[in-house]
Amino acid sequence: MRLALYQPDIPQNTGTILRMSACLDVPVDVIGPAGFDLSDRALRRSGMDYLAHVDLTRHIGWSIFHQSMGQQNRRIVLLTTAANTPYTVFKYLETDCLLLGRESAGVPADVRGQAGAEVRIPMREGLRSLNIAVAGAMVLGEALRQTRT
């Protein structure tokens, strides 16, 4: 299982996701460009003391990330409010990579079209979305429940 962040906008959310990933031993892919400095030095300076414990891979852009996932035979599972399948009924694989979109805009249509699957978190009518770190934790928790025995 992997977790991927598509062009993250908010450093605090990225820090929360990296900390969670370190604690749960889940590698993270960050797909650039990000809306903030993603260097090790900047992350350490912002209090990300878990950085040494994160298996973090940075990708310059979507095409390089997508190619890497293909070479590793990984299915990209996009978390999106536009999906039809609730995350709790989806069947995850140990080799899945859960993709989180930008906080401000999600992912573009071409990226969405290249995902191998899509899941959503059912929410109350009229509300837009959850915080990206919360959504990632919910779906990752279910994926790990299904795949880690």
pLDDT tens-digit map of 98-140? 999 999 899 999 999 999 999 999 999 998 889 999 999 999 9
Q: For residue 102, what are the domain limits?
A: 2-147
Query: DSSP for 61-129?
Result: SHHHHHHHHHHTT--EEEE-TT-SSBTTTS---TT-EEEE-BTTTB--HHHHHH-SEEEB----TT---
Average pLDDT, stretch 78-100? 97
Residue 112: the pLDDT is 98
The model's pTM is 0.94
How many independent structural domains does the chain possess?
A: 1
Residue 137: the pLDDT is 98
Percent of the chain with pLDDT over 90: 79
Going by pLDDT thresholds of 50, 70 and 90, the confidence category of residue 40 is confident
The enclosing domain of 129 has a CATH number of 3.40.1280.10
